[in-house]
A and B are shown apart, each in its own frame.
Chain A
Amino acid sequence: MIDDHPMIIEGYKNTLLGENQKEYQIKIDIASNCDDAYAYIIKSSETVPYDMLFVDIKLPPSSDGSITSGEDLAKHAKELLPKSKVIILTMHREDHRIHNILKNINPAGFLIKSDLTSSELLLAFNNILKGKAYYSATVNDHFRKMMTNKFSLDEKNLKILYHLSRGVKTKNLPNYVSLSLSAIEKRKNQIKEMFSIAKADDQMLLEEARKRGFI
């Protein structure tokens, strides 16, 4: 279990070690930062590999700076502990982040903290133990959106839409998305074409994106 909030760890423990989970013998290692987590992963890979890894996305980065988030940590874990099930638990529910995490890690479980209740956590736990993936409703929603759209927007395009929706001006976008202004303009036009609103302004673009569930 990797999370920088002891309170949350406490919550997980309280849920998983509850009375109705007596059939399992659960041993939990706790890490509150990337360094500790990485050390545990190394250690377990040499001894007894973990069955399950609960990884928060936002974590204090490792002291050498090579691991900056739960996402990086999950990648390492998948290499070192290929049989371990990785469960991502995160406060972020933005589409592009979900999209990114799914694409990069393809976790066995993907839970959005704000959706999460203890019963859902247990459900996910049980499902994953049985070899079934479990995703939060929000993540499933994201999947649904991706499926219903004939096309998909890549992470960059989603980011652009996301920041635009927050009121960031197009010319300030390069500060948020690592693209040049002209590239951003090009992408915006592509999105508009995809939405078949080629000559619309930003306002209409955002409305359409909302309608289609990209934001």
Chain B
Amino acid sequence: MCRIFFKIIAFFSFLAIIGCDYSNQNIESNELKFNLIQSHINEANDKQNSINERKDNIEKAYGICSTLNDSAFQIEKIHEISFAYYALKDYESYKKMNEKALKLSNKINDSLYIARSYAYLGIYYRSSKLDVAYNNFYEAEKIFAKLGITRGRKKIAYDRGKVLIDLALILRKAKDYSNSEATTIKAIESFELAEIDQYMPMCYTNLGNLAKLTERFDESVEYQLKAIEYTKGTNREISQTLISYNNIGTVYKSQQKYDKAKEYYHKALSYTDFLRKRPKRHARLIDNLGYVNFLSKDTANIPELFYKALKMRDSVNDKFGIVTNTLHLAEYYQSIGKDSIAKMYAKKSSDLSLELQNNIELLSAYQLLSTVSDSEEGLQYANKYIVLNDSLIKEERLFRDKFARIRFETDEIVEENQQISKENQILIIAILGLTALFLLGYIIFRQQQSNKELLFSQTQQESNEEIYRLLLNQQVKLEEGRHMEQQRMSEELHDGVLGRLFGVRLSLDGINQRANDGFTEARNKYIDELKAIEKEIRLISHDLGAETLPSDVAYIDAVENLIKDLCEVHKIAFEFNNDEDIDWESIDDQKKVNFFRILQESMQNIFKHAHADHIKINFDYVEDTINLTILDDGIGFIASKVKKGIGLKNITSRVNQMKGEVQFVSSEGSGTTVLVHVPIETKVKEVYS
């Protein structure tokens, strides 16, 4: 009492603090609130306090809880508060709390809390409305299944397992045994994943019960024993052992192995200390033992055992127990022919069953009543039995249908989701495919482009060479023509002019010999002069006829013509020197073309930018290297300031192509010198020795 008083004071003072300086102490006050709520919940769960005190504490905890602004924390606390209500058996409040929690969870869209809220609501409905309970659990399971994918299965395995075992139990109740078993196995897997054994006995017990119901008795016993194994060494060992032994007893009873059944009931009953405090269970075991004895015709302790059990049950008002108990008594009295007593107990059982809505026992009671009553009443009971049985079967079917529908709807949604995800997948694949296709296309396009470029440069080179060849051919033809003409002139002079001149001279000489006019000497002098002229003509003819122009002069001629033409157009004086040691004929056309183009390019640069008056171009041959020097007296340029134009780049690339070197030497106002060094493969020189 004292503690609570302090708490209340603390609470009020805390409220005061909030009132005074809410904003500043927000965090601090939140922490305070958490602590307060926690202490209230702890108080509420303390079984030493009175029920009213506990309820009071819960309400207070909830009061503080509703002022919290952290929704997630609030939901968690509301769940805890709901548990406290559950512990106090205030199930309506429990339901209300969880409905609130569900609402809040939906508001902040927190899947985990939504699922938990559904699961807790399912717990509320599981004893009254199976279908609603199923719906809630199923909703929770759906969310957990999804969460398992997004947040990791292990994290939610425990929560999910609890929901699954609840679902399994509901399914068993609706006699959908196969689904129940499958769900139980799923639950076991979940708990194994979570590595928490708390609900394992429940799972195995359920499996055992299912096995019994489907008449797999050996399996059933195994399951029950396994359930005990999970509790070995824990404080629940005895409790579980009793449950399992009772169940095993029932299994053997169903198999009509009454001795074995009795053995397990006796074993269970040997836990006297434990049972003394739990009359309900004690009574059930005694009742069951009695019933087995009765079935095995071992009537020594009958009906004493039944009465002993009934007495115990009466004392704790265990109505469910009483129903079964009275039914057993009725059966017993019927068997010994005391129909009226049997009818009395059967009536009692049926009335109580009606009250508890325990239809299974009610059915047995009606069946019994129909046989022990007189014919008219018996018929009535028989009719009641049939109607109830039909309605029960109908109800079960209805449940199963309902569950199936719930599952189907969910499946539909899942299918839809799958459909959507499939569509999404297809879309993604399509997009990826298209992207890949596009990329591929782009790459191919680029490849083709670069191929084209390559082809272009190749054809350019070819055309360059072609141009050069044509140029050279022209030059050679020109030379040939000139040479032929010279040859013709030479021959003409030698054979024609010279011959005739000789003939004339000879005639003159002959005549002169015969003449005797005193001028012979004078004429002889001119005849000699004629002879000298002849000689001169002969020399000229000889010179003309000689091959004065080697064919490789053609290239240098072409170069010189180029320089001359360009310089004439731009009115610039030029000087051109070609080292005669360069054997142009042995140099490949590619190099010749490159030199030609470099010259062209350089001269264009000079004409465009240099404002030169004079240029000097030299081809020198030093140690297997051709050095081309292009010198101008223009304005020059500062190398660093000039961006490399296409002209300079072209020159550089051409020189690189020839594996040579190029230098651009220039400074402002002092002209420019372009130096090109190109190595020439040493050709085997003509053998002289």
What is the bound-complex CA distance between A172 and B687, given in angstroms? 14
Q: Kindly state whether residue B307 has any CB partner on chain A within 8 Å.
A: no
A47 within 8 A of B: no
Write the nearest CB–CB distance from B343 to chain A, whole angstroms: 146
| CB within 8 Å for A167 and B546 given contacts A118-B506, A202-B688 | yes
| A4, A14, A113: the one within 8 Å of B511 (CB) | A14
* A177 close to B (CB within 8 Å): no
Q: Count of A residues near B, CB < 8 Å? A: 42
Nearest Cβ in chain A — how far from B534, in angstroms?
6
Binary interface encoding of chain B residues 489-515 relative to chain A, with 1 for a CB under 8 A from any of its CBs, else 0: 000001110111011111101111110
Q: Is the CB of A168 within 8 A of B547?
A: yes
Measured CA separation A30–B348 after assembly (Å): 178
Question: Considering only CB atoms, which chain B residue lies closest to A203 in the complex?
Answer: B688
CB-CB under 8 A from A10, the residues of chain B are 503, 507
Contacts of B531 in A (CB 8 A): 114, 117
Q: Mark B532-546, 1 if CB is under 8 A from A, else 0.
A: 001100100000001
The reply to whether A14 and B495 form a contact with Cβ atoms under 8 Å apart is no
For A153-171 the 0/1 string (1 means CB < 8 A from B) is 0000000000000111111
Main SS at interface, chain A: helix
Q: Are B506 and A121 in contact (CB under 8 A)?
A: yes
B505's nearest neighbour on chain A, judged by CB, is A11
Number of B residues near A (Cβ < 8 Å) is 31
Which of A15-23, A72-80, A142-150 is found at the contact surface with chain B? A15-23
Write the chain A residue with the least CB distance to B515: A19
Cα A14 to Cα B503 with chains together (Å): 10
Contact B538 A11 (CB under 8 A): no
Question: Is B686 an interface residue, CB under 8 A from the partner?
Answer: yes
Tell me if B689 is interfacial: C-beta within 8 Å of chain A.
yes
A58 contacts chain B at the CB level, 8 A cutoff: yes
In the bound complex, CA of A169 to CA of B527 (Å): 39
Check: B233 CB closer than 8 A to any chain A CB: no
A window 1-37: CB within 8 A of B = 3-16, 18-20
The answer, yes or no, to whether B548 is at the interface (CB within 8 Å) is yes
Question: Would you call B494 and A9 a contact (CB within 8 A)?
Answer: no
**Dominant secondary structure of chain B at its interface with chain A:** helix
Do A91 and B495 contact each other (CB < 8 Å), given the known contacts A5-B500, A114-B531? yes
A130 at the binding interface (Cβ < 8 Å): no
Interface pair B503/A7, CB less than 8 Å apart: yes
Knowing A201-B688, A202-B688, say if A166 contacts B506 (CB, 8 Å).
Answer: no
| Contact residues in B for A18 (Cβ distance below 8 Å) | 510-511, 513-514
Whether, in the assembled complex, A208 has its beta carbon less than 8 Å from a beta carbon of chain B, the answer is: no
Return the chain B residue nearest A172 by Cβ: B547
Q: A119-B509, A166-B546, A172-B547 are in contact. Are A114 and B534 (CB under 8 A)?
A: yes
Q: How far is the CA of A117 from the CA of B506 in the complex (A)?
A: 6
Q: Is the Cβ of A91 less than 8 Å from the Cβ of B502?
A: yes
In the complex the two chains form, what is the Cα distance from A11 to B498 in whole Å?
13
Residues on B with C-beta less than 8 A from A167 are: 546-548, 550
In the complex, chain A residues whose CB is within 8 Å of the CB of B510: 11, 13-16, 18, 118, 121
Given A117-B527, A168-B547, A11–B504 Cβ distance below 8 Å? Answer: yes
A91-106 vs B, Cβ < 8 Å mask (1 yes, 0 no): 1000000000000000
With A14-B507, A14-B511, A167-B547 given, can you name 8 additional A-B contacts, CB distance below 8 Å? Answer: A5-B502, A8-B499, A15-B510, A18-B514, A117-B509, A117-B531, A201-B688, A202-B688
Query: Could you pull out 14 A-B pairs where Cβ atoms are within 8 angstroms?
Result: A7-B503, A13-B510, A14-B511, A15-B506, A15-B510, A16-B510, A18-B514, A91-B494, A113-B502, A114-B502, A167-B546, A167-B547, A168-B547, A188-B688
- Which positions in A face B, CB cutoff 8 Å? 3-16, 18-20, 58, 91, 113-114, 116-119, 121-122, 166-172, 185, 188-189, 198-202
**Which residues of chain B have a CB within 8 Å of any CB of chain A?**
494-496, 498-500, 502-507, 509-514, 527, 531, 534-535, 538, 546-548, 550, 686-689
Q: Which 9 A-B pairs have the closest CB atoms?
A: A11-B506, A7-B503, A118-B509, A14-B510, A15-B510, A8-B503, A5-B499, A14-B507, A11-B503
